[in-house]
């Protein structure tokens, strides 16, 4: 019989054993005092101990694995997904709001308001919230908003019957739609989602309109849709009930004065408190807005322009980086005024306000937390723009031009005044006009700035600019004679006519009598290339760049200004040298003519025209335009000589004698250009110069030797009365100049007054 081993013989001394043996004996301690029989009876076999240890190890490993898994999961929630859960939590207790700001105002040079914003409110109504009290609420709304009660009630009643659709799938594939026959399920509407770039349908939007169906048909459609979209019937019915309860909000009035909106809301709350026991009224809300007003109505309207309300994402409309905003703010839709024409468009980046964006924390009931407001963007009003316009002078131009238009019935008319020493535009009037406060007058023909957007053949007002080249070349002086051929002169076999027959005239008399032949002959003697270079120095064929010229910053100019038309020298034909100097065959805008003449009035220095005097930002920073020299196309001596010749135009024998201002020397020039009639093959009309349609102009500066202003008056195709520049435009110039000199308190010249008195007596 095999002798059993004691625990010491089997395992050795426990105290000298390793940790594994000691761990083993934790399940069955060994007591050396016990007898061998007791030890043998009380000890576990190795097989049992291994089983116990295995089970213990399995349980331990399972607990460790569970602990590690739980720890990893908690780490993922607390650390890795922390930001995501924070955003979800904030979405429940944080609201984002937009705080509107005011668009900048437009003033004249001295601070007279030309365009500004008035605080208003937009009214939105969700009629389903008060359908039981529709009649009384409609009466309150109509009375305060000055709306027709019957028409308003019909609109609101229509919204109470509105059923919001149930959205089943936003982006379903074409195969899914066709295979399930969704287009044939009653109440289901399938619309295409197009690719914006390619214009191709990329997916389909599936919506369900349950309450347009009878109850039996609706039940059948719901059962069919639950199978197609694998929904529980109860879930789809709940969606239908929620859609049925959802109201439709409409805008019933915009740009309502805020005091009227506040009175309306107070009246609604008072009525609701009486019928609903003090509950807060819901279903009508107001939203702050601004309305652009123009105090002068039609006056200066074309230059000022108008604005339209545009809607877009907050970040894009306000010009902010979307990544700098919280997610709930990036998709907020806002409405903001955008300049469409005129100064409103030119200076839109300055005038446009920055809408404020802030978030605030709220409690469960919606009550804001005391210290939970956080601004992402501070609201900031737009900058105020001050024009170079002087409103009293503008009013003079408007009144006199309106009287001329009533008398002559032209297609267009212009009166533009510039300060020749700086290039600042003092006043701009044009016909036709529009009223920016009345959208019914917004015809495209009326809203354009024609004085920079349309070009014409200038006619004889071009002659002084051209003949400066002859004086500058020293080929002639004011006393140089030339034969004007008794009114008809042939060049290259083509006749050139004068409006009245003249014989020998001096250079100065050619200007005084506005002789086409005399001007053309002097130009031919000078040469075509020299004349071309000379006219190019005046900026012919180039935009004037009218706008805002701040010191040290890039200018802001009108983008839609016409260049006019002036052919390159290589494209000149044999007649060009005789036609371009007299204002035929080329086209200029009224602003280009004014710019060229500024050199004659400013001792040979041509100034850059500008219309914005200064900009005052919301923080008080002031940025001013700086007068800029654009060129020196002629010398001071030539300018002085030409001024002496132009004075003769308004004297007794001159074509512009009706432009003479008593007590002042006026240097100016008449212009009567025949309008070009385009060819029309269908009507059998060849291109030709009209003998019935004219572009009449007068341009001049006063006082001639020290000009305070340069004024251009142009009348396009006068249909009644006189059509020449001396008869139609010169009298308008005279009235505007006389009233403006009186307003500016410019002292008269005794010598000029005496000449005028003598001339009047002789006439």
Query: Can you spell out the DSSP letters for 410-469?
Result: -SEEEEEEEETTTTEEEEEEEES---TT-GGG--HHHHS-HHHH--B--GGGGHHHHHHH
CB-based contacts of 85, cutoff 8 Å, min separation 6: 77
- Cα Rg for the chain, rounded, in angstroms? 44
**Report field, pTM of the whole predicted structure over 0.75:** yes
Mean pLDDT across the chain, nearest whole number?
Answer: 85
d(CA 239, CA 537): 75
pLDDT at 171 (0 to 100) = 82
- Region 99-111 average pLDDT: 92
Report yes or no: 507 and 482 within 8 Å, Cβ to Cβ.
yes
Fold of 92-121+290-387: Penicillin-binding protein 2a (Domain 2) (3.90.1310)
Instruction: Report the C-alpha dihedral over residues 440, 445, 449, 450, rounded to 10 degrees.
Output: -150
What was the pLDDT predicted at 323? 47
Comparing C-alpha atoms, which of 697, 763, 695, 704 is closest to residue 730?
A: 697
Q: What is the pLDDT of residue 400?
A: 97
Token output for 495: 């006749």
Which pLDDT score is estimated for 32? 52
- Mean pLDDT value across residues 469-473: 94
According to the model, what pLDDT value does residue 412 have?
94
DSSP 122-174: EEEE-GGGGGGGHHHHHHHHHHHHT--HHHHHHHHHHHHT--PPEEEEEEE-H
Q: Given a cut of 50, is residue 9 above it in pLDDT? A: no
CATH, range 391-762: 3.40.710.10
When pLDDT is cut at 50, 70 and 90, the band that residue 166 belongs to is confident
pLDDT of residue 661: 94
Cβ neighbourhood burial of 657 (10 Å; 0-12, 13-18, 19+): buried
Q: Which residue has the higher pLDDT, 600 or 753?
A: 600
C-beta separation of 310 from 275 below 8 A: no
540-561 residue pLDDT tens: 999 999 999 999 899 999 988 9
Q: What's the pLDDT tens digit per position in 292-313?
A: 999 999 999 999 999 998 877 6
Of 358, 333, 329, 318, nearest in space to 103 by CA: 318
Instruction: Of 40-49, 62-71, 274-283, 740-749, give the lowest mean pLDDT range.
Output: 40-49
Of 116-125, 209-218, 324-333, 535-544, the least confident? 324-333
Q: Which residue has the higher pLDDT, 366 or 514?
A: 514
CA distances from 153 to 245, 325, 382, 576 (A): 20, 41, 39, 71
What distance in Å separates the CA atoms of residue 231 and residue 228, rounded to the nearest whole number? 8
Q: How far is CA 575 from CA 164, 492, 495, 566, 571, in A?
A: 74, 7, 10, 14, 11
Confidence of residue 12 (pLDDT cuts 50, 70, 90): very low
Instruction: Name which of 356-370, 393-407, 666-680 the model is least confident about.
Output: 356-370
Q: What is the token pair recorded at 310?
A: 């545009």
- When pLDDT is averaged across residues 281-288 and rounded to a whole number, the result is 88
Residue 164: per-residue pLDDT: 74
Tokens matching residue 102: 């005011």
Q: What is the mean pLDDT of residues 589-597?
A: 96
Phi, psi of 624 (to 5 degrees): -115, 150
Q: Report the distance separating Cα 658 and Cα 148, nearest Å.
A: 56
Say which residue the tokens 């024409």 belong to: 341
Q: Categorize the per-residue pLDDT at 763 as very low, low, confident or very high, splitting at 50, 70 and 90.
A: very low
State how far the Cα of 688 lies from the Cα of 686, in Å rounded to an integer. Answer: 6
Of 271-285, 307-321, 338-352, 567-581, minimum mean pLDDT range: 307-321
pLDDT in tens, 429-458: 999 999 999 988 888 888 889 999 999 999
Whole-number percent of the chain with pLDDT over 90: 55
Chain segment 77-86, per-residue pLDDT in tens:
888 888 877 7
Q: What is the pLDDT of residue 7?
A: 46
pLDDT band of 460, cuts 50, 70, 90: very high
> pLDDT band for position 236 (50/70/90)?
confident
- Residue 389 or 131, more confident: 389
Determine which of 187-201, 462-476, 726-740 has the lowest per-residue pLDDT on average. 187-201
pLDDT higher than threshold 90 for residue 466: yes
Q: Strand pairing partners for 359?
A: 96, 374
Q: Is 227's pLDDT higher than 50?
A: yes
Report domain extents, the chain.
Answer: 7-43, 92-121+290-387, 391-762
> What are the tens digits of pLDDT across the range 622-681?
999 999 999 999 999 999 999 999 999 999 889 999 999 999 999 999 999 988 888 777
Q: Is 96 a residue whose pLDDT tops 90?
A: no
pLDDT at residue 759, rounded to an integer: 46
């Amino acid at each position: 019989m095999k002798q059993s081993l004691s625990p010491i013989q089997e395992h050795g001394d426990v105290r000298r054993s390793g940790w594994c043996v000691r761990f083993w004996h934790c399940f069955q301690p060994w007591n050396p005092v016990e007898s061998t029989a007791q030890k043998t009876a009380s000890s576990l076999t190795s097989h049992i101990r291994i089983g116990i240890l295995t089970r213990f190890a399995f349980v331990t490993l399972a607990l460790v694995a569970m602990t590690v898994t739980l720890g990893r999961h908690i780490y993922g929630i607390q650390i890795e997904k922390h930001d995501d859960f924070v955003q979800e939590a904030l979405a429940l207790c944080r609201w984002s709001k937009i705080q509107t700001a005011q668009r900048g105002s437009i003033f004249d040079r001295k601070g007279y308001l030309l365009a500004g914003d008035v605080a208003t409110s937009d009214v939105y109504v969700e009629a389903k919230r008060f359908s039981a009290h529709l009649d009384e609420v409609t009466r309150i709304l109509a009375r305060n908003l000055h709306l027709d009660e019957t028409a308003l009630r019909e609109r609101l009643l229509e919204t109470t019957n509105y059923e919001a659709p149930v959205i089943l799938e936003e982006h379903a594939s074409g195969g899914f739609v066709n295979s399930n026959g969704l287009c044939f399920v009653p109440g289901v509407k399938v619309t295409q989602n197009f690719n914006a770039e390619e214009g191709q349908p990329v997916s389909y939007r599936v919506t369900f309109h349950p309450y347009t169906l009878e109850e039996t048909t609706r039940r059948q459609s719901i059962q069919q849709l639950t199978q197609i979209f694998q929904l529980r019937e109860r879930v789809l019915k709940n969606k239908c009930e929620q859609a049925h309860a959802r109201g439709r909000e409409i805008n019933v009035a915009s740009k309502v004065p805020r005091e009227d909106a506040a009175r309306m809301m107070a009246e609604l709350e008072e009525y609701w408190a009486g019928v609903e026991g003090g509950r807060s009224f819901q279903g009508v809300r107001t939203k702050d807005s601004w309305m652009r007003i123009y105090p002068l109505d039609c006056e200066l309207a074309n230059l000022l322009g108008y604005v339209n309300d545009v809607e877009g994402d907050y970040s894009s409309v306000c010009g902010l980086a979307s990544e700098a905003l919280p997610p709930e703010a990036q998709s907020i839709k806002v409405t903001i005024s955008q300049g469409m024409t005129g100064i409103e468009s030119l200076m839109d980046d300055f005038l446009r306000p920055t809408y404020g964006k802030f978030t605030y924390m709220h409690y469960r009931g919606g009550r804001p937390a005391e210290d939970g407001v956080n601004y992402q963007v501070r609201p900031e009003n737009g900058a105020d723009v001050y024009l170079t316009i002087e409103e009293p002078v503008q009013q003079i131009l408007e009144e006199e031009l309106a009287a001329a238009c009533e008398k002559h019935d032209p297609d267009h008319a212009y009166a533009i005044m510039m300060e020749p020493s700086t290039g600042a535009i003092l006043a701009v009037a044009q016909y036709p006009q529009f009223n920016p406060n009345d959208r019914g007058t917004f015809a495209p023909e009326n809203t354009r700035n024609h004085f920079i957007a349309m070009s014409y053949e200038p006619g004889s007002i071009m002659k002084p600019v051209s003949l400066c080249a002859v004086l500058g070349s020293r080929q002639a002086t004011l006393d140089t004679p030339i034969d004007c051929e008794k009114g008809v002169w042939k060049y290259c076999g083509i006749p050139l006519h004068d409006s009245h027959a003249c014989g020998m005239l001096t250079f100065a008399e050619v200007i005084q009598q506005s002789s086409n032949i005399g001007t053309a002959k002097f130009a031919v003697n000078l040469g075509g290339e020299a004349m071309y270079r000379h006219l190019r120095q005046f900026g012919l064929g180039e935009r004037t760049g009218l706008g805002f010229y701040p010191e040290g910053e890039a200018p802001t100019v009108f983008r839609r200004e016409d260049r006019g038309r002036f052919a390159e020298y290589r494209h000149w034909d044999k007649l060009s040298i005789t036609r371009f100097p007299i204002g035929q065959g080329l086209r200029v805008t009224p602003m280009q003519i004014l710019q060229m003449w500024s050199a004659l009035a400013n001792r040979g220095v041509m100034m850059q025209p500008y219309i914005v005097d200064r900009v005052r930002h919301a923080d008080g920073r002031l940025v001013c335009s700086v007068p800029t020299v654009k060129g020196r196309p002629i010398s001071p001596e030539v300018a002085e000589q030409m001024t002496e010749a132009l004075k003769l135009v308004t004297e007794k024998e001159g074509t512009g004698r009706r432009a003479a201002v008593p007590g002042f020397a006026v240097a100016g020039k008449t212009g009567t250009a025949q309008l070009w009639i385009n060819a029309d093959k269908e009507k059998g009309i060849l291109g030709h110069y009209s003998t019935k349609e004219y572009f009449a102009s007068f341009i001049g500066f006063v006082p001639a030797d020290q000009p305070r202003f340069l004024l251009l008056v142009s009348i396009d195709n006068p249909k009644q009365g006189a059509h020449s520049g001396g008869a139609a435009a010169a009298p308008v110039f005279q009235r505007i100049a006389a009233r403006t000199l009186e307003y500016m308190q410019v002292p008269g010249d005794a010598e000029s007054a005496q000449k005028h008195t003598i001339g009047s007596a002789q006439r």
